[in-house]
């Protein structure tokens, strides 16, 4: 059964490249076989699953939301002790003088 699904996925990939009208039929075959034996999904690699997802996106004319980029954290202002150390560093005065 796994070999049949892999063959159907390869056919689907070719159909995607050629915009073949057989895509819905190939997706139905893959779906039927995966439904009959759901454990096979764990044997598929990411590229094969990607082909199935791309086929579904093409046939249903949908897009998936892209993940949002992480926002950069605003830089925290230096603490008072850090600012004092920076001021004293260039003046020749040390904190011990106080």
Question: What is the residue extent of each domain of the chain?
Answer: 2-60
Interatomic CA distance for residues 53 and 30, integer angstroms: 12
**Nearest Cα to Cα of residue 5 among 29, 23, 25, 35:** 29
Interatomic CA distance for residues 46 and 90, integer angstroms: 57
Q: What is the pLDDT along the chain (98 residues), one digit of tens a residue?
A: 888 988 888 888 888 878 778 888 888 999 999 999 989 888 999 999 888 888 888 888 877 777 777 676 777 777 877 777 777 776 665 556 55
Contact 30, 51 (CB under 8 A): no
Widest CA span of the chain, in angstroms?
Answer: 84
Question: How many Å is the Cα radius of gyration of the chain?
Answer: 29
Is this prediction's pTM over 0.95?
no
């Amino acid at each position: 059964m796994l070999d049949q699904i892999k063959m159907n996925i390869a056919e689907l990939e070719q159909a995607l490249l050629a915009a073949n009208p057989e895509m819905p039929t190939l997706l139905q075959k893959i779906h039927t076989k995966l439904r009959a034996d759901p454990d096979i999904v764990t044997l598929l690699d990411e590229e094969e699953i990607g082909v199935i997802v791309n086929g579904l996106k093409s046939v249903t004319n949908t897009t998936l939301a892209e993940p949002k980029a992480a926002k950069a954290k605003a830089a925290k202002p230096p603490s008072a002790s850090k600012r004092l150390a920076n001021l004293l560093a260039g003046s020749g005065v040390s904190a011990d003088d106080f």
